[in-house]
Amino acid sequence: MDSHPGNLYLSPDKSLGIFVPHEFNIAARNIINEVLAGASTAGPGLDRDVLRNLTRIVGQPTAQQDENGPPVVLSRDEALHFEAIMAQFDLRYDLPDRIKRTCPVCDTTTIEDPAHLAQRAKDIQRDHDRNTFINNVAARQLIDSGHTVEGVFRMLLAPKKPSLDLPCHVCGGRQFDRSRTTFCPECHNRRDEFLLLQCPYCEHDFVASVREHIWTTGANALLAFNISYKQSAVINAVRALDRYALDKQIKFLLGHITADTSIFGVARCALIDNRKRDTVLLVTSECICWSSKRFLVLTEDSSLKWEEVADVSSNTLNDVRLALSDGRTITFASFLGDGRALGVGASDRARAFDAQTIRHLITAMGGG
Ligand SMILES: [Zn+2]
Ligand SMILES: [Zn+2]
């Protein structure tokens, strides 16, 4: 699956901005769709026409093929509505996260802490594993002592895993409906609604309480998008060159990308200094960095700043040999496939990864 850089949204006057990673865009659109489908709201409802319009904007990977946008400039109403949607992520993170358990028979509700439930599930699993083990040992003994039928029967009758649920304390029922709930930080009333805007009891403004975490300056939002755009371009290029590239390899390369870095290209080679090394390389305006696969799960990573490189040469096989300022050399050889020229943030967008490019970079970056 392709990596998408996410979207950049700006306020009407472009002074404020939000960078939203792709996964959050999808989640935001799902929230809007839930609200349009009738999910409950704490506080005055949002305008359905504006929301409908937002679903057409949010969640679509931005069409731009450029790290500089163009961003989505929201109208005033769209900005307010989008802010309310994005606030839900921060609110659910900040506020206590509880589960409301309702018995469908007698309507008794209980509040559960998901963290406690997880611990209880773990305890139950541990007891269950131990009991199963004891049972199997007992069954094995029966089989070994000639009671084969009884032993096999006992194995089949492995202890049942107890239910995670305590029965309803009113009617003893064991089937429940569950939904998420939380509490108002001001009046401490329970809030069962799906969308939290304003507390109906005390008028606590949920959205305003997290507003400063949602918006940043337009310039900062653009920077965040810019980095994400480059990262996505590198991820997609590496995956195109090597479907089985390890996440660790990609992570290492991404660590060399900043807002100021121009990304020239990604390549893959099979040899470094005549040693077999399945390697992905990233060439930026600041450095050349590479990560090799070792023994299926390990990686071997390294990087060189252009200041450290004194000269570059290549042969008829297109091997790239770097001569370092300290006298060492390093040769990348047996390039697999064509390197991907990304040209993100570079003035000359057509540059590929080859000796010529590297020579040009060394000169340009003041190394040689
Ligand atoms: Zn009940
Ligand atoms: Zn309240």
What secondary structure does DSSP assign to 125-181, as a single string? HHHHHHHHHHHHHHHHHHHHTT-HHHHHHHHHTPPPPPPSSPPPTTT-----EEEEE
pLDDT at 314: 78
Query: Closest ligand to 205 CA?
Result: 2
If you measure from the C-alpha of residue 180 to the centroid of ligand 1, how many angstroms do you get, rounded to a whole number?
Answer: 19
pLDDT of residue 41: 94
According to CATH, the topology of domain 242-364 is PH-domain like (2.30.29)
Average pLDDT over every residue of 267-275:
91
Residue type, 222: L
Closest CA to 33 of 188, 194, 172, 166: 194
CA neighbor of 285 nearest in space, from 305, 314, 267, 309: 305
Taking a C-beta distance cutoff of 8 angstroms, is the pair 234, 266 a contact? yes
> What is the rounded CA–CA span in Å between residue 122 and residue 164?
10
Find the 207 Cα to ligand 2 centroid distance in Å.
13
Cα–Cα distance, 214 to 89 (Å, whole number): 10
CA of 211 from ligand 2 middle (Å) equals 18
Ligand 2 centre to CA of 196 (Å) is 11
Q: pLDDT band for 68, please (50, 70, 90 cuts).
A: low
Residue 72 alpha carbon to ligand 1 centre in Å: 50
Cα–ligand 2 centroid distance for 28 (angstroms) = 24
pLDDT computed for residue 72 by the predictor: 87
Tell how far the Cα of 166 is from the centroid of ligand 1, in angstroms: 11
Distance 190 CA to ligand 2 centre (A): 8
pTM of the model: 0.75
* Contacts of 340 by beta carbon, 8 Å cutoff, 6+ apart: 237, 240, 241, 265, 266, 267, 353
pLDDT value for 315: 75
pLDDT value of position 292? 95
Percent above pLDDT 90 for the chain: 43
CA of 208 to the centre of ligand 2 (A): 14
Q: Which ligand is nearest to the CA of 183?
A: 2
Residue scoring higher pLDDT (117 or 356): 117
Q: Distance from the CA of 198 to the center of ligand 2, in angstroms?
A: 8
- Predicted pLDDT of residue 85: 94
Closest ligand, as measured to the CA of 202: 2
Domain ranges across the chain: 7-92+201-221, 99-184, 242-364
Model pLDDT, residue 258: 85
**Which of the four pLDDT bands, split at 50, 70 and 90, describes residue 155?**
low
Instruction: Report the separation in Å between the CA atom of 202 and the middle of ligand 2, taken as the mean of its atom positions.
Output: 4
More confident: 353 or 144: 144
pLDDT of the residue at 62: 62
Token match 């083990």: residue? 133
Q: Across all residues in the chain, what is the average pLDDT?
A: 85
Q: What is residue 344's DSSP assignment? A: E
When pLDDT is cut at 50, 70 and 90, the band that residue 255 belongs to is very high
**Which ligand is in closest contact with the Cα of 200?**
2
213: three-class secondary structure by DSSP: helix
In 3-state terms, what secondary structure has residue 266? strand
- CA of 187, nearest ligand number: 2
Q: Tell me, in angstroms, the distance from the centre of ligand 1 to residue 107's CA.
A: 6
